[in-house]
Amino acid sequence: MGYVIAAYGIVGVAIGGYALVLAWERRALLNTVRSAGK
């Protein structure tokens, strides 16, 4: 059971983490673009 939990856990953390990084980068870029465009 430990192997199954490890496999599913890694996938969940990786996809969730990647989505969070993209969301964070989008937010940071939006702020920079808005301030640069002023």
Amino acid at 23: A
CA angle 36/17/23 to nearest 5° reads 25
Range 8-37, binding another protein (CB under 8 A) = 8, 10-11, 14-15, 18-19, 22-23, 25-26, 29-30, 32-33, 36-37
Minimum distance, C-beta of residue 9 to another protein, in the bound complex (Å): 10
Amino acid at 2: G
Q: How many CB atoms lie within 10 A of CB 12?
A: 10
Helix (H, G, I), strand (E, B) or coil at 11: helix
Minimum distance, C-beta of residue 10 to another protein, in the bound complex (Å): 5
Residues in touch with another protein (CB under 8 A): 1, 3-4, 6-8, 10-11, 14-15, 18-19, 22-23, 25-26, 29-30, 32-33, 36-37
